[in-house]
């Protein structure tokens, strides 16, 4: 199956190459970004079509990608076999000159390159082990493989069955062909590199030199949450890369009136809207900035904008709307889960304006992040941050901790920040607060005065912050949501790379701090530490997967002991239970039948009516297991879970 998977990758890349060549972006960065967008379009289209026929199986996936590659090749030949932009290495003289003039850029590039090579190794060695990946990102993919369709199934977890699914389709191919998750983390890792190219291209479009654009792109890759997300199977970084690609290609196409760039931008936006709801929250600020520039510049022709609008509509219908249509069909609501979330929180008692004000202030406080600094320095900085935060919240009269503003039992507090490099709780390090936020605020004002394109990402960021603040109760894991907005604002950093003694010293300090923060973040990632007592190097793959499981009570050892690798298992688990994914087994050999709604109790009658050989139950406050005759059933317990094993030779239901 590994050979078939390699062939499948070649077919996807062939489709992306032919289509990107036909669309013909005029610059080398745009061409690379077009390949990224086209490859994702191929993955999503194939999965959606096969899902309708319950054919998400290896041979059908291979055939679909072969057919799409053939169509793209035919379009390429009919267009006259256009070639890609010429890629050439810089001359020796240019390299030596840049080494002399910008050694800080070379050092930064070397450290970033080595870091991401090592992160690729980590992706291979350490299986996905953060809670979100286990609770729904990966478990939904295995259910798709098991059911051979993207359609929802009876489940307590609406996140698995209703959330946008494009990002997880990126993991589907490797998990379908290889029957393991060893390569699943490369979806976000490759997205980080794609985002870097879009940042470079955007900065060039804003007038930055190659060196300035490269500086902005490399600094972006050094941010703690970007580093941490590149080894997860979550979807924030992938959504950010696709949204940044859409903005970059739009501005390029608008400026040059290039239809291919505008069409690819529309496809990228459609893909992003099908990856995560947060992509919608970019649109208000993006639209406001675009409307202002159109009004002040008064372009002679609106053809470029109309082409882009049509491309966005088609892109969304073809590449983003599938899950929303599916939700409407099965749940009567295109967003599926929104009403449930609103009911489960206390948000209904609070107006969006009050919620937004509170969340924006809390988010700005959280942006003052010291992830990546050495522990003694980070600890001292966090204490100062807490004192400043208490004073600021008191002055602004923002409630510190109010149940009406929080998600369930999550609590906000000034002393809760730990500075740990956590894939869930980190933000963007010192540069996120002291570099990104000031530049965004500056261009949000200066962009109006100068009528500069940099107004668009600045307003899109501020609109995103307000929209996400108004739409969701507060929880302490919001940092990763901002991967999306930090990516398309990264080109603003290019302006820091200037000549002059003071500016050279400043950019050298920024580059040095970025290198320190990036390396410390990588080696101290609590989910995948490279140093210390829990370092991954001497551990087995099982130990790496279970690194944080003891504290989260995921019963991997119980499952391996009680349930054979090829068994058929009924699962009775509450929403977002992280034990579901391990239930499938290392090679996804177990067939899992989700029981929903759950029975009031698992008793002898229920087991007789549902004669599964194995039943896996969450028993603490979700489903009670009554006493069963030991002659017919054996129970394994590791609270809060129980495995019920039916003894004797029995048939599955």
How far apart are the C-alpha atoms of 79 and 456, rounded to whole Å? 34
Would you state the pLDDT for residue 98? 78
pLDDT at 652 over 50: no
Peptide bond into 640 cis (omega under 30): yes
- Average pLDDT estimate for 560-581: 91
Q: Do both 470 and 570 map to the same domain?
A: no
In our burial notation (b when 16+ CB lie closer than 10 A, e otherwise), range 346-357 reads bbeebeeebbbb
Residue 500 CB neighbour total at 10 angstroms? 8
The string of pLDDT tens digits covering residues 330-347 is 988 898 765 444 434 444
pLDDT at 249 over 50: yes
- 59 falls within a domain: yes
- 526 falls within a domain: no
Q: Which conformational region is residue 320 in: left (phi greater than 0), alpha (psi within -120 to 50 degrees), or beta?
A: alpha
Q: Do both 316 and 370 map to the same domain?
A: no
Would you state the pLDDT for residue 343? 39
Q: Do both 392 and 313 map to the same domain?
A: no
Confidence band, pLDDT 50/70/90 cuts, at residue 101:
confident
In our burial notation (b when 16+ CB lie closer than 10 A, e otherwise), range 616-637 reads bbbbeeebebeebeeeebeebe
Q: Do both 6 and 77 map to the same domain?
A: yes
Q: Do both 339 and 424 map to the same domain?
A: no
- Average pLDDT estimate for 350-377: 90
How far apart are the C-alpha atoms of 128 and 498, rounded to whole Å? 41
Would you state the pLDDT for residue 653? 44
The string of pLDDT tens digits covering residues 626-640 is 999 989 999 999 888
Residue 325 structural domain: 2-280+298-343
- 418 falls within a domain: yes
Q: Do both 349 and 447 map to the same domain?
A: yes
pLDDT at 485 over 60: yes
Residue 376 CB neighbour total at 10 angstroms? 8
- Average pLDDT estimate for 176-192: 96
Tell me the backbone φ, ψ of residue 641, rounded to 5 degrees.
Answer: -120, 155
Task: Tell me the pLDDT of the chain averaged across its residues.
Answer: 91
- 527 falls within a domain: no
Confidence band, pLDDT 50/70/90 cuts, at residue 591:
very high
Here the tokens at position 632 are 């017919």
Minimal CA–CA distance to 271: which of 291, 299, 243? 243
Would you state the pLDDT for residue 551? 54
Q: Do both 98 and 178 map to the same domain?
A: yes
Picking from 465, 493, 521, the residue at the C-terminal end of a domain is 493
pLDDT at 392 over 80: yes
Would you state the pLDDT for residue 651? 46
Minimal CA–CA distance to 493: which of 152, 212, 157? 212
- Average pLDDT estimate for 435-443: 97
Q: Between β-strands 633-638 and 641-646, what pairing exists: parallel, antiparallel or unpaired?
A: antiparallel
Q: Do both 332 and 353 map to the same domain?
A: no
- 500 falls within a domain: no
- 359 falls within a domain: yes
Confidence band, pLDDT 50/70/90 cuts, at residue 650:
very low
How far apart are the C-alpha atoms of 432 and 52, rounded to whole Å? 43
Would you state the pLDDT for residue 320? 96
- Average pLDDT estimate for 382-399: 88
Minimal CA–CA distance to 8: which of 61, 81, 75, 85? 61
Question: What is the share, in percent, of the chain residues with pLDDT greater than 90?
Answer: 69
- 75 falls within a domain: yes
pLDDT at 520 over 60: yes
**How many domains are contained in the chain?**
3
Q: Do both 97 and 221 map to the same domain?
A: yes
Contact assessment for residue 312 and residue 287, using Cβ atoms and an 8 Å cutoff:
no
How far apart are the C-alpha atoms of 609 and 596, rounded to whole Å? 15
Confidence band, pLDDT 50/70/90 cuts, at residue 397:
confident
Confidence band, pLDDT 50/70/90 cuts, at residue 348:
low
The string of pLDDT tens digits covering residues 196-246 is 999 999 999 999 999 999 999 999 999 999 999 999 999 999 999 999 999
Picking from 343, 363, 398, the residue at the C-terminal end of a domain is 343
In our burial notation (b when 16+ CB lie closer than 10 A, e otherwise), range 170-209 reads bbbbbbbbbbebbbbbbbbbbbbebbbbbbbbbbbbbebe
Here the tokens at position 648 are 């004797």
How far apart are the C-alpha atoms of 200 and 181, rounded to whole Å? 31
How far apart are the C-alpha atoms of 217 and 553, rounded to whole Å? 39
Q: Do both 313 and 398 map to the same domain?
A: no
- Average pLDDT estimate for 429-457: 95
Would you state the pLDDT for residue 58? 97
Confidence band, pLDDT 50/70/90 cuts, at residue 300:
low
Of the given ranges (53-57, 380-384, 592-596), which has the lowest mean pLDDT?
Answer: 380-384
Q: Do both 115 and 234 map to the same domain?
A: yes
Q: Do both 52 and 193 map to the same domain?
A: yes
- 315 falls within a domain: yes
Question: What is the share, in percent, of the chain residues with pLDDT greater than 70?
Answer: 95
Would you state the pLDDT for residue 418? 65
How far apart are the C-alpha atoms of 518 and 219, rounded to whole Å? 10
pTM metric for this prediction: 0.94
The string of pLDDT tens digits covering residues 125-175 is 999 988 888 889 999 999 999 999 999 999 988 889 999 999 999 999 999
Confidence band, pLDDT 50/70/90 cuts, at residue 1:
confident
How far apart are the C-alpha atoms of 194 and 485, rounded to whole Å? 15
Would you state the pLDDT for residue 337? 60
pLDDT at 91 over 80: no
Contact assessment for residue 231 and residue 536, using Cβ atoms and an 8 Å cutoff:
no
DSSP assignment string, 384-439: HHHHHHHHHHHHHT--SS-GGGBSTT----TT-------TTT---HHHIIIIIHHH
Of the given ranges (272-276, 454-458, 485-489, 574-578), which has the lowest mean pLDDT?
Answer: 574-578
- Average pLDDT estimate for 597-606: 93
């Amino acid at each position: 199956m590994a050979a078939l998977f390699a062939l499948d990758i070649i077919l996807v890349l062939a489709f992306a190459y032919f289509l990107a060549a036909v669309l013909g972006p005029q610059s080398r960065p745009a061409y690379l970004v077009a390949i990224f967008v086209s490859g994702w379009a191929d993955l999503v289209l194939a999965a959606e079509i096969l899902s309708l026929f319950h054919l998400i199986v290896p041979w059908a996936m291979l055939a679909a990608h072969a057919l799409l590659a053939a169509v793209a090749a035919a379009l390429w030949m009919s267009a006259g076999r256009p070639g890609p932009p010429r890629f050439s290495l810089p001359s020796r003289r240019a390299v030596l000159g840049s080494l002399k003039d910008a050694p800080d850029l070379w050092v930064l590039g070397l450290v970033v390159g080595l870091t991401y090579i090592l992160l690729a190794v980590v992706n291979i060695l350490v299986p996905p082990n953060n809670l979100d990946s286990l609770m729904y990102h990966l478990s939904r993919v295995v259910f798709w493989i098991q059911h051979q369709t993207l359609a929802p199934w009876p489940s307590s977890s609406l996140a698995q069955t209703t959330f946008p699914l494009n990002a997880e389709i990126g993991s589907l191919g490797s998990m379908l062909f290889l029957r393991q998750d060893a390569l699943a983390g490369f979806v976000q890792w490759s997205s980080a590199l794609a985002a870097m190219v879009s940042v470079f291209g955007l900065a060039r479009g804003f007038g930055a030199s190659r060196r300035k654009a490269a500086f902005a792109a490399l600094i972006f890759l050094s941010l703690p949450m970007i580093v941490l997300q590149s080894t997860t199977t979550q979807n924030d970084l992938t959504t950010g890369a696709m949204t940044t690609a859409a903005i970059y290609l739009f501005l390029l196409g608008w400026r040059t009136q290039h239809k291919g760039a505008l069409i690819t931008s529309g496809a990228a936006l459609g893909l992003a809207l099908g990856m995560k709801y947060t992509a919608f929250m970019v649109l208000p600020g993006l639209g406001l900035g675009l409307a202002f520039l159109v009004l002040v510049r008064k372009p002679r022709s609106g053809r470029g904008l109309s082409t882009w609008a049509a491309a966005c509509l088609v892109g969304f219908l073809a590449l983003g709307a599938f899950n929303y249509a599916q939700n409407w069909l099965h749940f009567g609501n295109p967003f599926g889960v929104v009403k449930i979330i609103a009911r489960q929180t206390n948000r209904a008692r609070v107006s969006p304006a009050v919620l937004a004000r509170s969340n924006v202030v809390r988010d700005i406080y959280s942006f003052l992040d010291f992830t990546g600094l050495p522990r003694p320095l980070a600890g001292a900085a966090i204490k100062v941050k807490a004192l400043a935060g208490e004073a600021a919240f008191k002055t602004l009269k923002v409630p510190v901790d109010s149940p009406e503003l929080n998600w369930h039992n999550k609590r906000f507090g000034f002393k809760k920040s730990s500075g740990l490099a956590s894939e869930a709780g980190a933000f963007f390090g010192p540069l996120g607060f002291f570099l990104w936020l000031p530049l965004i605020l500056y261009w949000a004002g200066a962009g109006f005065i100068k009528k500069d394109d940099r107004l668009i990402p600045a307003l899109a960021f501020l609109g995103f912050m307000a929209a996400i603040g108004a739409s969701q109760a507060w929880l302490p894991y919001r940092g990763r949501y901002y991967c999306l907005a930090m990516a398309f604002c990264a080109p603003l950093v290019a302006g820091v790379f200037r000549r002059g003694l003071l500016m050279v010293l400043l950019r050298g300090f920024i580059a040095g701090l970025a290198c320190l923060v990036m390396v410390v973040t990588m080696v101290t990632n609590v989910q995948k530490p490279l140093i210390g007592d829990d370092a991954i190097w001497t551990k087995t793959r099982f130990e790496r997967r279970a690194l944080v499981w003891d504290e989260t009570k995921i019963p991997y050892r119980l499952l391996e002991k009680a349930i054979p690798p090829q068994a058929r298992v009924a699962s009775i688990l509450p929403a977002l239970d992280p034990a579901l994914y391990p239930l499938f087994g290392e090679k996804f050999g177990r067939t899992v039948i989700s029981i929903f709604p759950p029975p009031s109790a698992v008793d002898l009658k229920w087991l007789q009516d549902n004669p599964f050989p194995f039943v896996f139950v969450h028993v603490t406050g979700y489903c009670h297991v009554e006493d069963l005759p030991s002659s017919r059933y054996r129970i394994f317990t590791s609270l809060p879970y129980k495995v019920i094993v039916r003894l004797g030779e029995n048939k599955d239901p």
